[in-house]
Amino acid sequence: MSITVYTPNITHADMSQLTLALEYLKLSPNFSMFYQNLDGLTLHIGPNVSTIALPQSGQLMWNPTQGLQVISDTGILGVQSPALGLVHEIAHVIFGHNEAQATAFETRVAHDLGEPVRANYNATGSDVRVRNSTQHTDNGHWTTFEKVGGMKTGGQYDGSSNAPILGNGFPVPPPNAPVGWGYASPWYSQDSKGNLHDASYWKIPDQQRSVPNNFDSKILEFHIAQEDSAPVTASPIEHNDAHLVAVQIVGVHESAHY
């Protein structure tokens, strides 16, 4: 089964950050079970939009440079990647306008990927502008996912909203390379109507085999059964989303503990 996502008016650079984010998120077993929920979504992507969801219409706004400062239940500050922000909004498409469920799903994926977790939905600080969609902090250090070479670690996190430059997540182009070199992915393609097609395969952890990205429906149903299945009412737009209204927090940044 191929996943198709509509990405109207997307630029080449934003397409590269979307494919980078999806390859990074596929490292999370928790995210993999819900990946098929992207099928049919409309993603409005750009560096000047705010990351929010419109659950009823199946549309998301996503800023691939918008990280989020969060505070843990022990008072530790960290920065989540824009990719994890995308996870939170995808959760709203799955669960509706229920911040507790969306944050719980975000937290499971964050644990899988080594990203910081927030104590609750409102435990946030400032938005943090980062260079690529996977840049975040991990145990007090800035970290990013690279298309070639896996995870890359930078300097220590100082608790501010300033992020170091760790690259755009793609290899440095050789001299005289054509525009867009290194951004292509063998698994993703975009048609003339702006649809992103993903025909990639998942790597099964600890096994020497791969499977198509449409995970068995029974596994998905079992996973959903572990959640609070009470019906929720989805708001047309999340006016109180944490990415738009950040509360003031006081905490100790991650590097102070490592």
Lowest model confidence (mean pLDDT) among 60-64, 69-73, 120-124, 247-251: 247-251
DSSP summary character for residue 226: T
Residue with tokens 């109207």: 8
pLDDT tens digits, 127-137:
999 999 999 99
Residues contacting residue 240 through CB under 8 Å, at least 6 positions apart: none
Domain ranges for the chain? 3-257
Tell me the whole-structure pTM to 2 decimals. Answer: 0.77
Radius of gyration from C-alpha coordinates of the chain:
18
Q: Does position 115 have pLDDT exceeding 90, yes or no?
A: yes
Residue type at 240 in one-letter notation: N
Give CA–CA dist 45/1, Å, rounded: 24
Q: Does position 257 have pLDDT exceeding 70, yes or no?
A: no
Q: Determine contact, residues 89/101, Cβ cutoff 8 Å.
A: no
